[in-house]
Amino acid sequence: MSLELEKQFEIKDSRYRSSTLTNGLGKSGQRALLYATGMDEEDMKKPFVAVIGSFSEMVPGHAHLRELADYVKQGVIEAGGVPRQSETIAICDGLCQGHKGMCYPLASRDLIADSVEMVVEAHHFDAMVLLPGCDKIIPGMLMAAARLDIPAIIVPGGPMMPGNVGGNPLFCSSELREYPGRVEAGKVTVQQMKEAEKAALPTVGSCAHLGTANSMCMLTEVLGMALPGAGTAPAVSNKRKRIAKASGRAVMEMLRTGLTPRKILTREALLNGVAGAMATGSSTNLVLHLLAIAHEAGVELSLQDFDTISWEVPFLCNLQPSGKYPIVSLDSSGGIPAVMKTIEGKLHTEAMTVTGRTVKQQLEAVEVHPDDVLRTLDHPQKPEGGIAVLHGNLAPDGAVVKQSGVREDMYHFVGKARVFDSMEEADAAVSGDTIRKGTVLVIRYEGPKGGPGMREMLSTTALIMGRGMDADCALITDGRFSGATHGPCIGHISPEAAAGGPIAFVQDGDEIEIDIENRTLTLHVSEEELRKRREGWQPLKKPRKPALAKYAYLVSSADTGAVIDVSKL
């Protein structure tokens, strides 16, 4: 083949990854396929940008993402790129609560990261804009961004507006979850509950409180992977649409300058993420996800980092479920830029962001007007961060509690164990009024391997809170909790029961001591007795379909982020 002939097919700058598809005499078939999608010869010369969403008609946090993607594509086109839209899956944690479907959301996080990798690598995209909405989709896409390390920006779907129930215009679904317990306790009528269900979630978007979904939305901004305002702008606002269009333009600038996720997702940025979580009172699930993102970015991050920063960064934001207000109230109070400005002295301000500016440069023009939504460092909601990490003979590798949602008189609690091998067993016991004051409910075999999938125990905690039992009982589990959970609930116990952790050998009546202030979780049983209980032990193995069986085999412990252990492949 002559050099002259080959030059006639040098359509695009060979520095672009997508030139693999467009350049060369032998790529006639690839070009034909691109023409079939509506491209013309001018498009072939431009960079290709993947616009990967997670649209779903089943999930409120994702139902508007196709419209949002249209604005992203406008921005990409304005900046000289060719956007091409694709979708990945989205599972709603809220719909999965309280049944076996909850085994799937955490496992979907890695499937989402894999699906983004497959589309982007197979089609040689030059850059990507990722549009997630809720819990596991946001970290899955952040993991993919770190893994692929091509110019990437996140456009989260944003929070829904609060409902108006019983004259409360700030009503969120986190409170609705407690209604079954209130009905059973005679505090709410069946008709009141039915009316509340219709009014609680009035728009699309992530549930209005600071659950895992909005914790992750806000985290994208703290990490520098989303534009300012992206963490809290309401899903139905024109502000959200403007951010989407601006993100399309911004990713093209990142491509021009060579700014990629691993230049942004440094250890310093991830520590900023931990600090942001502490200040806002974010979901404990954020611990799992930050550890997994760090793993993909090749950055060292551990539970110890969370504990260290928890002592240093106070809990500032008066947000549901631990406080009074929905996420849109924080947006009105300055959003994440105002939170970061308030804790600026606790942040690594040299960290880079998708704007091409450092955190320090981003915060220079930010003004903060403290109010009841966002407090000051001198007058915080609580003097310590929202999340605490506990250790002890019951959790040698750590456990996690959202201390911002725990009554201070429950920071220290000693009770007798009541042991359950599944969430359903615990729910039946609470609903059957068989749980007495002074009980520590122990729910095990719900960890990453044992569940499998590390189900959230929201149905159990909602029943407990709905009955007002949060002053009399505590709950510990090797599973996890919804971001909507509050009360004395400790999760992520590692090692989990399925891996032979001490939680597997707790028996009814054992004394358990929880000491959040001193960060300890203690089973008052002698080591000699525990050794006897371990003799002849075999882990409980629950029925599982192929997807979960593969996940259970490959997944690591919660204290490392429940990441896929590739050494087993």
Q: Which of 305, 325, 336 is nearest to 161 (CA)?
A: 325
Residue type, 160: M
Provide the b/e sequence for 110-129 (b: ≥16 CB within 10 Å): bbbbbbbeebbeebbbbbbb
CB atoms within 10 A of CB 314: 24
Catalytic: 215?
no
How far is Cα 461 from Cα 479, in angstroms, rounded to an integer? Answer: 12
Three-state SS for 235-296 is: CCCHHHHHHHHHHHHHHHHHHHHCCCHHHHCCHHHHHHHHHHHHHHCCCCHHHHHHHHHHHH
Residues 6 or more apart in contact with residue 445 via CB below 8 angstroms: 421, 422, 451, 478, 496, 497, 498, 504, 539, 540, 542
Assess contact for 218 and 232: CB atoms under 8 A: yes
**DSSP-assigned letters across all residues of 371-418:** -SSB--SSS-SBSS-S-EEEEETTEEEEEEE-GGGS-GGGSEEEEEEE
Phi, psi dihedrals of residue 515, rounded to the nearest 5°: -135, 90
| Look-up of token digits 């004259």 | 167
Burial class (CB in 10 A: 0-12, 13-18, 19+), 198: exposed
* Residue 322: strand pairing partners: none
| Look-up of token digits 């997508």 | 18
Q: Which of 347, 396, 381, 410 is nearest to 502 (CA)?
A: 396
First CA to last CA across the chain, in angstroms?
Answer: 42
How many Cα atoms within 13 Å fall on the side-chain side of residue 423?
31
Using DSSP, state whether 6 is helix, strand or coil.
helix
Residue type, 388: A
Task: State how far the alpha carbon of 345 is from the alpha carbons of 225, 244, 312, 336, in Å.
Answer: 21, 30, 11, 15
Question: Which tokens sit at 298?
Answer: 């090749």
Assess contact for 303 and 399: CB atoms under 8 A: no
Catalytic residue among 482, 494, 556, 557: 482
DSSP 8-class letter at 473:
-
Residue positions annotated with a catalytic role: 482
